[in-house]
């Protein structure tokens, strides 16, 4: 875990927090997407004009237009830092485009670029500084502790919702910690990529202002929409910049256009489907309703979509050859959308080995293994629809990524939801069959 922003060969003046507060910093949050990329390219273009003598300063309005400058007279490149937090699962095209079109411009003007990632699943694990340079050449998109690793270890998927907790946890928190290190706790203005039409996001962001932090919205000042950002980037690079997202992003899969982009990406690079399909396979095994798309599994969509055959073939071959686990799932449902669970990993082996143990467990207690889709379960207790609290209890075979874990408040919730506290006695010793 890095605690200092230091890269060999790069000399950055240190500043006491009080000095940093007096001078103030500028921070550009670069999420690798369209909006923030447009801001960076426009800034570099303005700096090119100043160097060529066709512009006097960054706060000079464009000649013949009513567009107001986004950068005030006290904008200081020496006190500017561009910060990107890596989730570890962005589409590779962003690395290619960023290294070709953005990083050379940052290096030309000596703009400081800090790349950061989480060091572990907890905030207390801190952050890792992947790069801190005024002459960047490489985008360190692999990160450190990856959001994908967190999801498959927990056996879950990112959740849809306005808060976008996955993005905040994997990108927002580490970026904020990096900013605190850079500024020494001093004041800064944070340039955000919210465009015209996103007044609600601007208002929410403004509400997050502090005595030290002030949000700034250049695209709103310029009157730029998302389409205008895309056209601007294309006019300067010759490419249509893709949206920034993880390959398994549930928001990308929430509408037809987003699903089309995801499937096109998998068709072009079939190996990229691995993380999405593995995450969904594990999560759906532990919770039948937990899929990357509402009402349908991504795997099922790909099965009926031409061009996805190679991605599915590669996934099936790889997951079949890997380790599998027999997992006991106990879930106490305390209300609509509210539940806590306990996962117990009883053993690992090949898929066939774990499946044989599951069948033997069913035989011993006189039940049958239920096969639903691509999953096999031995149900010990089913939840009662519309009744709370209620509980469900089953054994399932899934890829061996999850760890045994008891959720917060589980024991008390489980006792309230059901009188059963353990596996049936007839299953004692059966799990020794799992290798």
Q: Of 224, 305, 187, which is closest to residue 41 (Cα–Cα)? A: 224
Burial class (CB in 10 A: 0-12, 13-18, 19+), 180: middle
pLDDT at 186: 92
**Alpha helix positions (H), 295-374:** 298-303, 309-321, 351-364
- State phi, psi for 35 to the nearest 5 degrees: -65, -55
Q: Of 24, 38, 21, 383, which is closest to residue 233 (Cα–Cα)? A: 38
User: Would you give the distance in Å from CA 174 to the centre of its chain?
Assistant: 12
pLDDT at 160: 72
First to last CA, the chain: 35
Classified as helix, coil or strand, 260 is helix
pLDDT at 421: 59
Cβ proximity of 431 and 326 under 8 Å: yes
Q: Whole-prediction pTM value?
A: 0.87
Q: Of 258, 240, 238, which is closest to residue 249 (Cα–Cα)? A: 258
Q: To 10 degrees, the CA torsion angle through 111, 112, 115, 116?
A: -150
Cβ proximity of 328 and 346 under 8 Å: yes
Pairing of strands 25-29, 80-85: parallel
Give pLDDT < 70 ranges for the chain.
1-23, 62-70, 161-164, 419-422, 428, 432-435
Task: Output the CA–CA distances (angstroms, integers) from residue 122 to 145, 150, 248, 406, in the order listed.
Answer: 10, 10, 21, 16
Sheet architecture: strand order including 127-133: 127-133, 112-118, 80-85, 25-29, 188-191, 213-216
Q: CA-to-CA distance for 215 and 153, rounded, in angstroms?
A: 35
Q: Which two tokens stand for residue 429?
A: 């010793």
Q: Which two tokens stand for residue 226?
A: 């998302």
pLDDT at 430: 77
Per residue in 285-338, pLDDT (tens digit) is 999 999 999 989 999 999 999 999 999 999 999 999 999 999 999 999 999 989
Per residue in 34-53, pLDDT (tens digit) is 999 999 999 999 999 999 99
């Amino acid at each position: 875990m890095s605690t200092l922003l230091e890269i060999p060969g790069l000399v950055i003046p240190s500043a006491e927090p009080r000095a940093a507060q007096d001078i103030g910093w500028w921070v550009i949050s670069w999420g690798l997407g369209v909006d923030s990329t447009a801001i960076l390219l426009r800034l570099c273009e303005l700096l090119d004009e100043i160097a060529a003598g066709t512009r006097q300063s960054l706060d000079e309005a464009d000649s013949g237009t009513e567009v107001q400058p986004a950068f005030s007279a006290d904008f200081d490149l020496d006190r500017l830092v561009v910060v990107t937090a890596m989730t570890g699962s962005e589409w590779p095209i962003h690395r290619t485009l960023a290294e070709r079109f953005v990083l050379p411009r940052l290096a030309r003007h000596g703009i400081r670029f800090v790349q950061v990632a989480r060091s572990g699943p907890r905030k207390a694990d801190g952050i890792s500084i992947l790069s801190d340079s005024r002459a960047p050449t490489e985008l360190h998109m692999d990160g450190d502790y990856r959001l994908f690793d967190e999801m498959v270890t927990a056996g879950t998927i990112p959740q849809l919702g306005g808060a976008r907790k996955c993005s905040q946890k994997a990108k927002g928190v580490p970026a904020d910690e990096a900013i605190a290190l850079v500024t020494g706790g001093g004041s800064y203005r944070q340039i955000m990529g919210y465009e015209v039409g996103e007044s609600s996001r601007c208002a929410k962001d403004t509400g997050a202002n502090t005595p030290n932090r002030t949000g700034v919205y250049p695209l709103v000042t310029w009157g730029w929409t998302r389409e205008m950002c895309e056209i601007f980037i294309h006019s300067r690079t010759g490419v249509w910049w893709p949206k920034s997202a993880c390959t398994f992003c549930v928001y990308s899969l929430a509408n037809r256009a987003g699903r089309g982009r995801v499937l096109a990406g998998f068709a072009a690079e079939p190996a990229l489907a691995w993380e999405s399909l593995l995450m969904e396979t594990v999560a759906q095994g532990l919770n039948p309703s937990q899929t990357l798309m509402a009402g349908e599994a991504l795997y099922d969509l790909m099965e009926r979509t031409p061009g996805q055959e190679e991605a599915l073939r590669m996934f099936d071959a790889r997951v079949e050859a890997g380790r599998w686990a027999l997992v006991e799932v106990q879930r106490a449902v305390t209300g609509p959308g509210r539940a806590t669970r306990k996962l117990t990993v009883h053993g690992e082996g090949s898929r066939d080995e774990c499946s044989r143990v599951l069948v033997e467990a069913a035989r011993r207690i006189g039940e049958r293994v239920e096969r639903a889709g691509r999953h096999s379960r031995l149900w010990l207790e089913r939840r009662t629809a519309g009744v709370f609290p209620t509980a469900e209890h089953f054994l399932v075979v899934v890829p061996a990524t999850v760890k045994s874990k008891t959720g917060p408040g589980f024991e008390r919730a489980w006792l309230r939801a059901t009188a059963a506290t353990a596996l049936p006695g007839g299953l004692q010793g059966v799990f020794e069959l799992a290798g």
